[in-house]
Chain A
Amino acid sequence: MWLPIQINEQSAEPLYYQIEVQLRALIVSGQLDEGTLLPSIRELAQLLKCSIITVRRVYQDLENEGLLRTKQGTGTYVARIEQNAMDRYRLDAVMESLEAAVDAGKLVQCTKEELTKLFQEVLNRKFGG
């Protein structure tokens, strides 16, 4: 099975983190349905050219978050995710980007009013309002 996960070797972010973020996004966005069998640890390691130590860590972390479940001897599956948990994850990613945008604004000394105005402009442009 192929997964659309891109690794950036030059990034400051550790490999396991890069994979975790993208796999989480694939699950909470519904691109991977509940019950989908994921590649084995060795297969995913082969696909991403990383070690099985890294893949095992990713699967473990996402299992602890309740996004994956492992059946002994058969493999790792996408778990059933409650709707409100799905919404929370969905908004988490948006919130993170918004915070990054505000940080970028603060870096060039934007005021709160300026940022609000910019945000409105972007909204209007994107939603055609």
Chain B
Amino acid sequence: MTDNAVSLTEVELRRPHFQLGPIRLEVPKGYVTAIVGPNGSGKSSTFRLILDLIKPDKGNIKLLGQNISEEEDWQTKSKVGYLPELFSPHDDKLKASSKTDFVKKWYADWDVNRYQELLRLFEVDDSIKLGKMSKGMRRKYELALVLSHHPELLLLDEPSSGLDPLAWRTMIDVLHRYMEPGDRTILMASHIVEEVKRLADYIVFMVHGRVLGVYEKDELFGSWHAFYVHGEQVSRKLVQAMPGQCAIEEAGGGMLRVITRKAPDAEAWCGHEGITISHRQALQLDDILAILVEQERARLRS
């Protein structure tokens, strides 16, 4: 179908307290892919692996069609913009404009007008020392910095952390416009439900260092529904057989709430079994994540 901006093949990273992988992940070019997972699931490590900031123990990583850690990989990396989740304190004493002067040298496509425009949009004053900036201001400055060389690929680790609602809206808008040409790619990690809903085309679930699946966003939300069913013939035992059934709970008054990950199949099945669906509800991202985490825990226990 499309070519990939990033691909990880059987990548493993072993640490005394944590194992990441084996991960197989393909990030399609031209789309926004969001990695969603609880804290400590390996999202930030995945970014660092992609940028060759840490080396995997096993596996292969391709960035914009090139194998990473080859001699001339700086050219590939200059087409990437990376916004880490946390900034190192060593440049706190620098004025923002000094950091900009240092960073821009490394990018042939540095665009000073774009940079100024982004500072204006985000209302950032780059004559302030980085250590004196508020968390949100710092984040906006760094975001302007990674966007000013027109990268082909943006890696955003929790992009909105610390942003106020207005700055957040500006960021969403800037990122949508960044994607407009159609050949650019964003890979982001987020646990802000609304952010993923607004931006993502694909959603990747990551739990305990494993990729649990890659889903097209609208298909995902169209498939995970809760059905409220009741009736004389309806029993826990019967609805266990519902296609994609993930959880059953009592909803009071003889009503059962059944969660399915295959809503269209489940609906057809109900029709076939003569079960009336009195109400249905699309699950939210955090509901889906909670179920997947629970299933993954059960798998690890067994």
Which residues of chain A have a CB within 8 Å of any CB of chain B? 9-10, 12, 14-16, 40-43, 45-46, 49-54
Contacts and interface: CB of A to CB of B under 8 A. Distances in A.
B98 to A, nearest CB: 35
B200 interface: yes
Interface of B: 31, 176, 179-180, 182, 197-198, 200-202, 216-218, 221-222, 263-264, 267, 280-282
Contacts of B202: 51
29 contacts: A9-B221, A9-B282, A10-B282, A12-B264, A12-B267, A12-B280, A14-B218, A14-B222, A15-B218, A15-B222, A16-B218, A40-B180, A41-B182, A42-B176, A42-B179, A42-B180, A42-B182, A43-B180, A46-B176, A49-B197, A50-B217, A50-B218, A51-B31, A51-B200, A52-B31, A53-B31, A53-B216, A53-B217, A54-B218
Contacts of A10: 280-282
Nearest to B181: A42
A52 B28 CA distance: 13
Given A12-B263, A40-B180, A46-B198, A53 B218 contact: yes
B218 A51 contact: yes
Contacts of B179: 42
A70 to B, nearest CB: 13
Given A12-B263, A15-B218, A15-B222, A51 B176 contact: no
Contacts of B282: 9-10
Determine the main DSSP class of A at the interface with B: helix
B12 to A, nearest CB: 30
A53 B198 contact: no
B198 A49 contact: yes
A43 B177 CA distance: 8
Contacts of A45: 201
B281 A53 contact: no
A14 to B, nearest CB: 5
B216 A51 contact: yes
A54 B217 CA distance: 9
Nearest to A48: B218
A44 to B, nearest CB: 11
Contacts of A40: 180
Contacts of A50: 217-218
A53 to B, nearest CB: 5
Contacts of B221: 9, 15
B201 to A, nearest CB: 4
Given A9-B282, A40-B180, 11 more contacts: A10-B280, A10-B282, A12-B263, A12-B267, A42-B182, A43-B176, A45-B201, A51-B200, A51-B201, A52-B31, A53-B217
